[in-house]
């Protein structure tokens, strides 16, 4: 996937300015930047959800799975998790398969990890459950590219595992390109092959170890920057 | 008389069923009042049809389709909120409609009159209802996904703007079918009430859609029977029957 000269404007206000980068097949890329840096806007351009200038070109056989940051699902919406997933996939076996991948198992010891969640209304899920269901939804249809908009590290998938652990595990499948937005540098260092630092324009791009230095951090977050440490539970 | 009543029941039940089904999406999309307001747009169409002597249903359908395309286009190409657009279309057409509708026909056009329904209307309703059901079913999943998240739908390459237009046109079809029974002022009710009632009871989408259809059918059929027995005007009777179902469901839900 290559992006060149990407710019986005809302009402003559430049949100993204002349962004260019490339993502290799089967690699993991992280996008970092402060609030309002245009991370989600960049995502939305990659998905072709908003108008932009410049070019975004995916390889021809790309199948994108998208995990949005959050969904405001109406509590009163009479839509169960199973019905939601079946918008994309008819086969019950395949639905159970992806639910298993995000940690909802048959006859689990805890209700939060049980496939009974399939009968629950979307609006009644907890934040963590909803995120896992959205990941399951993205996994349906065998995507070879996954776009994660800020997966929260605090969400347990199954016991110890976090969303990032899951991302890592999914990578074991061959041919899966992952692009995720994150706040946490530690997570980026651990899981990403390359990182794009963003603050309306491209601040840095490359392998995390070399790309994220004092200078690029200052450009993103200002002078007095302390590296944010993610605490494992 | 009996055959006539049977025809009325059949036509009414069909239009009630399809209103309920389409209404189920309308309520979820928070567009309930769009159906209501659109129905008023039918009035000038009916008036012109009456003036040139063609079936008022056709006139209504044409006026509605024009309004739907207009609303869809402007909401895609301008910054005005759709609800404001609907408000403008609705008041403008109500005003124009009342001016040009012949006074003797005005009451019928506004509130409906089942005595004026003949076999031709039956055929129109049958064809229309089947077509609307079929098209709605094919876009049902896309519409529901758009309720959950428009971005998610777009990321799956669903042409949301096209689906919106098809959907609005379907709503017009339903309103046109109901106009003879309920009149332009009350047609919107049959799109909203059965679906809201079903939403009170149903635990999942399948049950919700089936209940919307069943309640739409029941309310219309029961309303027609009551209206013909007591010689009430059909529109208000049907709407009040539907409302009584709603109140019942509300109490049931709060139990």
Write the CATH number for B231. 1.10.3470.10
Per-position b or e across A58-84, b if 16+ CB within 10 A of its CB: beeeeebbbbbbebebeeebbbbbbbb
What ipTM was reported for this prediction? 0.85
What is the per-residue pLDDT across A119-167, written as a single tens digit (0 to 9) for each?
999 988 888 888 889 989 999 988 889 998 877 655 666 555 677 777 7
Do A137 and A88 contact (CB within 8 A), yes or no?
yes
pLDDT of res. A216 = 78
What is the per-residue pLDDT across A199-208, written as a single tens digit (0 to 9) for each?
888 888 888 8
CA distance linking residue A16 with residue A199, whole number of Å: 8
- Contact A78/B199, CB-based, under 8 Å? yes
| Residue A174 confidence class, pLDDT cut points 50, 70, 90 | low
Does some domain include residue B32? yes
- Contact B149/A71, CB-based, under 8 Å? yes
A13 exposure class (CB count in 10 Å sphere: 0-12, 13-18, 19+): exposed
Query: What is the count of structural domains for chain B?
Result: 1
Q: Confirm or reject contact between A77 and chain B (CB < 8 A).
A: yes
Q: Confirm or reject contact between A50 and chain B (CB < 8 A).
A: no
Chain B residues interacting with chain A (CB cutoff of 8 angstroms): 28, 141, 144-145, 147-149, 151-152, 154-156, 199, 202-208
Tokens of B71: 């609303």
Does some domain include residue B64? yes
pLDDT of res. A183 = 77
For the domain bounded by A1-62+144-233, which CATH number is listed?
3.40.50.300
pLDDT of res. A226 = 56
From first to last of the 255 residues of chain B, give the pLDDT tens digit: 577 888 889 989 999 999 999 999 999 988 777 777 788 888 888 888 888 888 888 888 899 998 888 888 887 777 777 677 777 878 888 888 888 888 777 877 787 777 778 888 888 889 999 999 999 999 999 999 999 998 899 989 899 989 999 998 999 899 888 887 788 778 888 899 999 999 999 989 999 999 999 999 999 999 999 988 998 888 889 999 999 999 999 887 755
pLDDT of res. B241 = 95
Question: A87 to chain B: which residues are within 8 Å by CB?
Answer: 141, 144-145
Q: Is the pTM of the predicted complex or chain greater than 0.90?
A: no
Q: Where are the domains of chain A?
A: 1-62+144-233, 72-142
User: Which residue of chain A comes nearest to B202, CA vs CA?
Assistant: A78
pLDDT of res. B246 = 95
pLDDT of res. B72 = 84
pLDDT of res. B247 = 95
The gap from C-alpha B92 to its chain's centroid, in whole angstroms, comes to 19
> Nearest Cα to B109, choosing from B97, B121, B91?
B97
What is the per-residue pLDDT across A45-83, written as a single tens digit (0 to 9) for each?
998 888 888 888 888 888 899 998 778 888 889 999 999
| Residue A86 confidence class, pLDDT cut points 50, 70, 90 | very high
pLDDT of res. A187 = 80
Does some domain include residue B46? yes
pLDDT of res. A158 = 57
Does some domain include residue B255? no
CA distance linking residue A116 with residue A134, whole number of Å: 16
**Does residue A43 carry a pLDDT above 70?**
yes
Interface probe for B, chosen from A75, A79, A89 (most Cβ of B below 10 Å), is: A79
Average pLDDT over residues A15-31: 88
How many angstroms away from the CA of A170 is the closest CA of chain B? 21
- Contact B148/A73, CB-based, under 8 Å? yes
The whole domain housing B229 covers 2-250
């Amino acid at each position: 996937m290559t992006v060149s000269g990407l710019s986005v404007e809302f009402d003559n206000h430049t949100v993204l300015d002349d962004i260019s980068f490339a993502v290799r097949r089967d690699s993991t890329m992280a996008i970092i930047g402060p609030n309002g840096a245009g991370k989600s806007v960049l995502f939305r351009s990659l998905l072709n959800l908003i108008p932009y200038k410049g070019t975004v070109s995916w390889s021809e056989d790309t199948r994108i799975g998208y995990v949005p940051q959050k969904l405001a699902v109406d509590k009163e919406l009479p839509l169960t998790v199973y019905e939601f997933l079946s918008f994309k996939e008819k086969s019950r076996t395949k639905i159970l398969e992806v639910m298993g991948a995000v940690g909802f198992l048959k006859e689990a010891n805890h209700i939060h990890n049980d496939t009974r969640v399939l009968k629950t209304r979307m609006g009644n899920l907890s934040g963590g459950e909803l995120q896992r269901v959205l990941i399951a939804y993205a996994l349906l249809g065998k995507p070879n590219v996954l776009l994660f908009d800020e997966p929260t590290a605090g969400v347990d998938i199954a016991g110890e595992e976090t969303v990032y652990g899951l991302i890592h595990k999914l990578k074991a499948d061959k041919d899966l390109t992952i692009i995720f937005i994150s706040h946490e540098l530690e997570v980026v260092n651990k899981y990403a092959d390359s990182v794009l630092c963003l603050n309306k324009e491209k601040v840095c791009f490359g392998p995390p170890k070399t790309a994220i230095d004092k200078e690029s951090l200052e450009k993103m977050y200002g002078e007095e920057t302390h590296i944010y440490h993610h605490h494992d539970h | 008389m009996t055959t006539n009543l049977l025809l009325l029941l059949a036509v009414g039940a069909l239009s009630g069923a399809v209103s309920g089904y389409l209404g189920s999406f309308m309520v979820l999309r928070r567009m309930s009042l769009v159906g209501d307001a659109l129905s008023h747009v039918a009035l000038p169409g009916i008036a012109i049809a009456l003036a040139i002597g063609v079936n008022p249903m056709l006139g209504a359908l044409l006026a509605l389709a024009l309004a739907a395309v207009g609303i869809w286009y402007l909401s895609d190409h301008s910054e005005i909120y759709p609800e404001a657009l609907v408000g403008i279309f609705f008041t403008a057409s109500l005003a124009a409609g009342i001016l040009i509708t012949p006074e003797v026909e005005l009451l019928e056009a506004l509130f409906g009159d089942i005595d004026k329904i003949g076999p031709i209307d039956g055929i129109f309703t049958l064809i229309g209802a089947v077509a609307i059901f079929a098209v709605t079913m094919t876009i049902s999943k896309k519409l529901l996904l758009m309720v959950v998240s428009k971005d998610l739908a777009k990321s799956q390459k669903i042409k949301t703007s096209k689906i919106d237009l098809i959907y609005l046109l379907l709503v017009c079809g339903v309103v046109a079918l109901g106009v003879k029974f309920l009149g332009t002022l009350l047609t919107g009710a049959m799109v909203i009430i059965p679906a809201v009632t079903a939403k009170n009871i149903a635990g999942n989408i399948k049950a919700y859609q089936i209940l919307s259809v069943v309640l739409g059918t029941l309310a219309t059929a029961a309303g027609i029977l009551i209206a013909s027995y007591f010689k009430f005007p059909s529109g208000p009777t049907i709407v009040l029957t539907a409302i009584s179902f709603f109140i019942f469901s509300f109490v049931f839900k709060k139990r």
